[in-house]
Structure 1
């Protein structure tokens, strides 16, 4: 009796702890409809680790009322349960009673970045140690002597131990790997410098010396880790453009089996020949051919075309396009690894590999600078040992040379300017995603723009509202509310009132428009040659009309708009001596009209993603350094391949991830502003490098001559860092060339009507 009671209490506790994190309501909301009254739920169960677990879970879930089937995948630790809609089974609670904690399965979640975690922890530990040792050093500098001074030195030595043991191991490990393979890297002299500084400081502490240099050694480690952490974050963001495609692609698709049953399969399991159902609002999972159904596809992220493309039986469709209107049955013609999205990934990885060879100014300078300085310190030690015969004095002078020539100022020369410039750009509504991007932006001589969503807003609007009766506009808006078509959304947005009289039925006819029935009357909103029976329709070609029983009620004209300041921004770029081009996947007429409005001589239309990359490669082969400004999936490879890239915040996720800069407002003035700030930051970076090298040109000879103690060297090193930081802060001042924008006509500049 007691045993049973304990078992029951244990089962209740297991259910409470394992199942409380995920409610049955959440399970229902996350489930997918399989049709025929069935739904499928995918759960992640980390506790699954053997065949016995599989049998236990599958047999227990199969006994629940409403469960049709339960499958456990051991490799992914995923439990897939198919159940009837009318009776939701307690899947999570059952797993909890079995002792298995469950949560929603997500195969697109990114793994933890262990390297970044280690860097951040090392940075925190070294920063904490440096701050506390510096406080103790202030007491020593203030005149502490004898036992008090020795106590402060010993406490500093103890605080420095975890800093060197944990934070320093990043450099020690790298240096050892390089030396064990018979080569040198930048971490070798760094490891040598901080080791000698700590060792000499410890010796001074043991022998009751007046000076110890724990503060200089740990501060050096702290500043170096700042630069390394920033570098890792920036390089990792370059990979986010590729990994972002996994989030854009559908996670799975509804497959119709040979016996007519339906099964939801992961995209990786889709094979050519499979019949797939794509509902309205879903993306095409793989390349295929439409077998049944008619709809319209939003291909903007694939081709750049702003107008939806009709899809009918026999039409080829590409992975990534969005189904807008009606369900489609497609036959897969390629596996996911051979789809359009996979091709985009390969293009991006190829372009990314080319950019990986780029080296920052500070890296190039440090590669030459650091070995020379540390060789100088070693030669100084040998020279003083030969002259004086006092190894203690020789080592002290050599350490002073190492500390005074510490690369803190050089290491800060680039990152501090990047941080200040990033703040400056953020104030202007521009985000910097890659620290080296400003350096590259300052070097450009060619600007390439995409059209749709970049030079233009990409969203049509109604232009003739004054000619439309309020009642007709309200009726049209009420009908348009039942469609995802961009023109329907424009009409809905333009409607000022809501038609409260309900319609008996509303149907969308792909490629034609919407048909609504109310009290026996037939309303049609769509193409003129379908909506009403008037003879003279030529003047209305390209418009959208509303008709009642074949009688015209209203005509809707649409236009796309240039982004605010587009003309001004292009003019400023051309005035700066840059070549401006337009490369778009949109139709020739639309591209030509934009090029004419902006006075751009070079414009290319109907360009696929691969050809955009080829054009950039051609420009690069001629020695041109290109800034690519674009949005959407089709621009992502070009954004990666360009010397530097900018995207608007309205871009597709993959476009924003691929770009080096993202501007948050509609105005294209962000492009010349970013260029100007980048050029100023480039000048400040060069000035900082000169200051860092110049400081060492003066300080090194003095240190070599023995006139600088390690304490003075540490102060001089800190001073050089402050000078570099102060110079970078000049970027926040209002001095310098200001980028003025012309807002007179761009905000309302009309483009030709968007085809219906």
Structure 2
């Protein structure tokens, strides 16, 4: 059995403490996920199992959401319900229901409600307008104008609030934004129509145009919201795995406490099938389901002392856990936070979009005023001049340009996250798309090490274990795994020197675990003991090297190991370029030299000796098993153990670059055609609203398509 370090401890997200407090106040109501339920029989089965438990006051299954809401009797927790459901064959996990309803959902519902009202009113006003368009008499036309006003004005007062509120806030702050011209266009169309209705002199009103503009804009904003929500849904689902409460073990027995109250070194009890609420150390052997964090379906064996991350599922048997981090520092919290940073970051292309958006308001107002003046001056028709100015205000809305980049960024970041790659840097997508050379570290990245230990005495083994446990280097982890079960020796002044090894004092004498000719060596005061490693290629290493080379990328390997050992692995994987016996500081120099030659290097590494190279490369990725320093220095983390994520990341990054360029081209083409059409009077306000919103929808759909 191997000690498996948590591959998700790179880490993540919004707070669940409010959820914990809300649940505690809500008569102990909890939500359990039931991912396997399919039909009405499953509903009856789940509710029947729960009805037999004395701890359950009530239970209600939601088949569509695949959840059950249970209300507990005072003094009980969810462990009995989880155990009973899993024993009955229903996979069940506790959820934080608040995290499944992020603030964006409320925003989406409000947008949808406003769009529905605007759409309903628009269709009714258009139906009423048929009589006007078909040549109704003056009295009939006047009556229908009043009917249209009665429908349109309340609908606009409700539906157009987002535009009026945004425009009002901008004007109060002494600035302009995109909603100022939109609000002005809606007000202009509605006010002119109302004047025509009161004056009873006009043949036509534009209530339908004002409603259409509002409706199509709201539809576009709702689709934008959904595109962003789709990208964030994976992080939101992870956040939902944060549990509100846990069972803490004390000298007096068990007590149910808020997860936010747990402190390092607390002991908690986890039932079979339960999720770990915080990061911790297993106090016994266990099997883990890490699919929520890494995407890998296969269970992982963890020995006593192995790391367990929040969100992982305990399989097979109950387990006690020693807490190592508070809830606010858990894996899940830090993961979602990093996703949000990558989503909302700036790209080089963003400068173009931001520049265009800043110019938008003054340019559009100037164009609309010019169109009004020219049309009124040439034709003397005030109403036609107002119609042209209104259409110009509407059709030139730069929504498509504003959506061109964030829609792609959000969609691709979310897609990569669900594929097991967490991008931390806001500009990572852009830089990854420019890569032409991939430089892999060898040990721990391309390989997995297994120690082949000679027969050594217990004292030497205990010293080797103590030194190995002081380092996160892959070779040290392999040695610690091979020596598990022993009691480590007591050492003082333990210090790791990158690229050289770990030094310390044992009974006052210097000892070290260092790199030898054929692998690690244990240096004791009186002798040196070789501790050879057998390295095997990591899963998917050969396939990813071949895939990268087939796409025209140069693949190279760098290692501090000997040239002979490096060449053996390079031949196995098909890597032609190898840099061997490279010291940590020289790795960074190698990356700089490649950059000076015009190469765009992707560095993939996991060790302390890789951090400078990771930070200096054009872009960088680290496996989830990498040291904290390597993960911090990298632009992204591969949450699974398969190196195929490298190829997937580069492929999706190039697709993102292509989509951004397509969206910018679409936005530019739209404006090149639409502005002259509006200024020359070929577009009515109604047509302008439909065309403008269609361009925004097209950009969003292009961003989210597969």
Q: Scaled by the length of structure 1, what TM-score is found?
A: 0.51
Q: Identify the residue that residue 392 of structure 2 maps to in structure 1.
A: 404
Determine whether 1:216 maps to 2:209: yes
Superposition deviation, residue 438 in structure 1: 13
Out of 646, 664, 672, which is 1:686 matched to?
664
- Paired residues of 1:296 and 1:325 also in contact (CA < 8 A): yes
Secondary structure of the 2:248 match is strand
- Mapped to 2, the partners of 1:342 and 1:420 lie a distance apart of 24
- Paired residues of 2:394 and 2:685 also in contact (CA < 8 A): no
Superposition deviation, residue 126 in structure 1: 1.7
Q: Identify the residue that residue 154 of structure 1 maps to in structure 2.
A: 146
Q: Identify the residue that residue 173 of structure 2 maps to in structure 1.
A: 181
- Mapped to 2, the partners of 1:115 and 1:42 lie a distance apart of 33
- Paired residues of 1:301 and 1:632 also in contact (CA < 8 A): no
Relative to structure 1, the CA distance from residue 595 to residue 409 in structure 2 (aligned partners, 3 Å threshold; closer, same or farther) is farther
Deviations 1:25-81 (A, max 9, x none): 74854999xxxxxx8558799xxxxxxxxxxx99xx7xxxxxxxx34xxxxxxx769
- Paired residues of 2:396 and 2:671 also in contact (CA < 8 A): no
Out of 211, 223, 246, which is 2:239 matched to?
246
Relative to structure 1, the CA distance from residue 721 to residue 165 in structure 2 (aligned partners, 3 Å threshold; closer, same or farther) is closer
Deviations 1:444-501 (A, max 9, x none): 21398999xxx99x9xxxxxxxxxxxxxxxxxxxxxxxxxxxxxxxxxxxxxxxxxxx
Q: Identify the residue that residue 190 of structure 1 maps to in structure 2.
A: 182
- Paired residues of 2:547 and 2:647 also in contact (CA < 8 A): yes
Determine whether 1:166 maps to 2:158: yes
- Mapped to 1, the partners of 2:627 and 2:236 lie a distance apart of 16
Q: How many residues align?
A: 523
- Paired residues of 1:43 and 1:80 also in contact (CA < 8 A): no
Superposition deviation, residue 685 in structure 1: 2.6
- Paired residues of 2:177 and 2:361 also in contact (CA < 8 A): no
Q: Identify the residue that residue 110 of structure 1 maps to in structure 2.
A: 100
- Mapped to 1, the partners of 2:177 and 2:120 lie a distance apart of 27
Deviations 1:556-590 (A, max 9, x none): xx998649985675245436xx999999xxxx99x
- Mapped to 2, the partners of 1:84 and 1:366 lie a distance apart of 54
- Paired residues of 2:557 and 2:575 also in contact (CA < 8 A): no
Deviations 1:263-294 (A, max 9, x none): 3434222223322334565554444455x544
Superposition deviation, residue 168 in structure 1: 0.9
Secondary structure of the 2:203 match is coil
- Mapped to 2, the partners of 1:417 and 1:396 lie a distance apart of 36
Superposition deviation, residue 121 in structure 1: 0.8
Superposition deviation, residue 204 in structure 1: 2.2
- Paired residues of 1:296 and 1:310 also in contact (CA < 8 A): yes
- Mapped to 1, the partners of 2:702 and 2:248 lie a distance apart of 61
Out of 275, 283, 286, which is 2:267 matched to?
275
- Paired residues of 1:628 and 1:646 also in contact (CA < 8 A): yes
- Paired residues of 2:121 and 2:155 also in contact (CA < 8 A): yes
- Paired residues of 1:279 and 1:326 also in contact (CA < 8 A): yes
Superposition deviation, residue 615 in structure 1: 7.5
Correspondence 1:380-391 to 2 at 5 A: none
Relative to structure 1, the CA distance from residue 362 to residue 288 in structure 2 (aligned partners, 3 Å threshold; closer, same or farther) is closer
- Paired residues of 2:544 and 2:646 also in contact (CA < 8 A): yes
Determine whether 1:332 maps to 2:323: yes
Q: Identify the residue that residue 573 of structure 2 maps to in structure 1.
A: 596
Secondary structure of the 2:391 match is helix
Superposition deviation, residue 311 in structure 1: 2.5
- Mapped to 2, the partners of 1:716 and 1:154 lie a distance apart of 24
Secondary structure of the 2:247 match is strand
Root mean square deviation, CA, Å = 6.6
- Mapped to 2, the partners of 1:724 and 1:82 lie a distance apart of 49
Stretch deviating more after TM superposition (265-274 or 163-172): 265-274
Superposition deviation, residue 190 in structure 1: 1.2
Out of 367, 389, 393, which is 2:358 matched to?
367
Deviations 1:502-553 (A, max 9, x none): xxxxxxxx999xxxxxxxxxxxxxxxxxxxxxxxxxxxxxxxxxxxxxxxxx
- Mapped to 1, the partners of 2:126 and 2:428 lie a distance apart of 34
- Mapped to 2, the partners of 1:298 and 1:334 lie a distance apart of 20
Superposition deviation, residue 154 in structure 1: 3.3
- Paired residues of 1:293 and 1:327 also in contact (CA < 8 A): no
User: Any gaps of 5 or more consecutive residues in structure 2?
Assistant: 1-42, 61-70, 83-93, 449-482, 486-535, 560-564, 579-601
- Mapped to 2, the partners of 1:684 and 1:193 lie a distance apart of 29
Determine whether 1:444 maps to 2:433: yes
Secondary structure of the 2:119 match is helix
Correspondence 1:15-34 to 2 at 5 A: 26=47, 29=50
User: Any gaps of 5 or more consecutive residues in structure 1?
Assistant: 1-21, 33-38, 46-56, 62-69, 72-78, 86-103, 459-509, 513-557, 656-665, 703-707, 734-738, 740-756
Relative to structure 1, the CA distance from residue 679 to residue 105 in structure 2 (aligned partners, 3 Å threshold; closer, same or farther) is closer
Secondary structure of the 2:394 match is coil
- Mapped to 2, the partners of 1:175 and 1:413 lie a distance apart of 19
Superposition deviation, residue 400 in structure 1: 1.6
Superposition deviation, residue 691 in structure 1: 2.8
- Mapped to 2, the partners of 1:157 and 1:334 lie a distance apart of 61
- Mapped to 2, the partners of 1:700 and 1:332 lie a distance apart of 65
Relative to structure 1, the CA distance from residue 618 to residue 83 in structure 2 (aligned partners, 3 Å threshold; closer, same or farther) is closer
Relative to structure 1, the CA distance from residue 175 to residue 303 in structure 2 (aligned partners, 3 Å threshold; closer, same or farther) is closer
Determine whether 1:204 maps to 2:182: no
Q: Identify the residue that residue 254 of structure 2 maps to in structure 1.
A: 262
Q: Identify the residue that residue 570 of structure 1 maps to in structure 2.
A: 548
Higher Rg of the two aligned structures: 1
Relative to structure 1, the CA distance from residue 597 to residue 370 in structure 2 (aligned partners, 3 Å threshold; closer, same or farther) is farther
Superposition deviation, residue 628 in structure 1: 7.1
Q: Identify the residue that residue 599 of structure 2 maps to in structure 1.
A: none
Superposition deviation, residue 156 in structure 1: 3.0
Deviations 1:690-733 (A, max 9, x none): 3333235534653xxxxx48x74644665677799899999999
- Mapped to 1, the partners of 2:100 and 2:262 lie a distance apart of 22
- Paired residues of 1:31 and 1:42 also in contact (CA < 8 A): no
Relative to structure 1, the CA distance from residue 579 to residue 189 in structure 2 (aligned partners, 3 Å threshold; closer, same or farther) is farther
Deviations 1:82-126 (A, max 9, x none): 9999xxxxxxxxxxxxxxxxxx99555534632221111111122
- Paired residues of 1:220 and 1:408 also in contact (CA < 8 A): no
- Mapped to 2, the partners of 1:347 and 1:283 lie a distance apart of 22
Relative to structure 1, the CA distance from residue 140 to residue 365 in structure 2 (aligned partners, 3 Å threshold; closer, same or farther) is farther
- Paired residues of 1:417 and 1:728 also in contact (CA < 8 A): no
- Paired residues of 1:126 and 1:167 also in contact (CA < 8 A): yes
Superposition deviation, residue 348 in structure 1: 4.9
- Mapped to 1, the partners of 2:557 and 2:397 lie a distance apart of 40
- Mapped to 1, the partners of 2:51 and 2:634 lie a distance apart of 38
